[in-house]
Amino acid sequence: MDANDLSILAALTRDVDGVRNLLSEIDRRELDRLLAMFAHAPDEQGAEAVGAAVVLHLMNSLPSGERQRLRLRAPTADPDRGVLRELAAVFGYRQPATGQPVDEPPPPAAGGTPWERIRTRLLSEASFSEEQVELLLGQDPWHRHLIRLSDATGEVRLPTFQFGPDGAPLPVVLSINEELRADVDPWGVADWWLGRNHWLDTPPARALGRVPDDELIAVARTVGEGY
């Protein structure tokens, strides 16, 4: 994590409500979920992994002008890694927002083939690297039933919706990923989770915690033999 990332986190600490107000409801919920992970980071390395995921989420979800203003709101002194301890103290007991999100799917990326646009859309979602997953409570990033997506450089990304605030994979996600064979077709299963679902009228990933687990599993089973 470089000085720029630490500056963004320092600015977030100073005005978290102002930053949250710049985000859509869905992105606010995701930010709160990521911040809640600070309470369970086992050490400074774990906190750094969470911090990196928070920075990535903000850079993907804030309008470009607001990203620059966030950097300008950082403290004048160069922040050090003490900001990670401060974040853990500030957000350790922060509860996620409870409002109902406005479930608008992200717009398709311009240009490229339909497959390339799908890959770009899925990779634009908040995700962890393998190293970050290992640092969060020692979770196994190679778990057979976790979705693992490779970007253009070959780096593996694991969508964050698969993990709870304690950093552990959500059992219902693992069950559905097993049902849909994420080990065989991770892109197809990721698209099921992150695309609008006819039965739920929202992407299933946005329904986690709002729809009973057994209902989500039943919806997944309607996919049939497609995955």
At residue 175, the pLDDT reads: 95
Task: Say yes or no: 32 and 136 in one domain.
Answer: no
How confident is the chain (227 residues) per 10-residue block, as mean pLDDT? 77 81 82 78 75 85 78 58 67 41 44 72 86 81 94 88 88 94 91 87 87 91 61
Tokens 């922060």 locate to 94
Please check whether residue 108 lies inside any domain of the structure. Answer: no
Please check whether residue 196 lies inside any domain of the structure. Answer: yes
Please check whether residue 8 lies inside any domain of the structure. Answer: yes
Task: Say yes or no: 118 and 196 in one domain.
Answer: yes
Task: Say yes or no: 81 and 130 in one domain.
Answer: no
Q: Pick from 90, 159, 166: which is nearest to 126 by CA?
A: 159
Please check whether residue 203 lies inside any domain of the structure. Answer: yes
At residue 105, the pLDDT reads: 44
Task: Say yes or no: 64 and 141 in one domain.
Answer: no
- Residues 190 and 148: their CA atoms lie apart, in Å, by 9
Distances (CA, A) of 129 to 56, 74, 107, 110, 120: 11, 26, 24, 26, 16
Out of 91, 125, 145, pick the residue that ends a domain. Answer: 91
Predicted structure pTM score: 0.64
Please check whether residue 215 lies inside any domain of the structure. Answer: yes
Q: Which residues pair with 149 in a beta bridge?
A: 157
Task: Say yes or no: 73 and 145 in one domain.
Answer: no
Chain-centroid distance, C-alpha 82: 24
Task: Say yes or no: 59 and 125 in one domain.
Answer: no
The structure tokens listed for 128 are 């962890």
Which range of residues forms the domain containing residue 146?
Answer: 114-226
Domain count across the chain: 2
The secondary structure of the chain in percent helix, strand, coil, rounded to multiples of 5, reads 55, 5, 40
Please check whether residue 99 lies inside any domain of the structure. Answer: no
- Residues 77 and 201: their CA atoms lie apart, in Å, by 47
At residue 169, the pLDDT reads: 92
Whether 125 contacts 100, CB under 8 Å: no
* Contacts (Cβ under 8 Å, ≥6 apart) of 5: 51, 52, 55
Please check whether residue 104 lies inside any domain of the structure. Answer: no
Please check whether residue 100 lies inside any domain of the structure. Answer: no
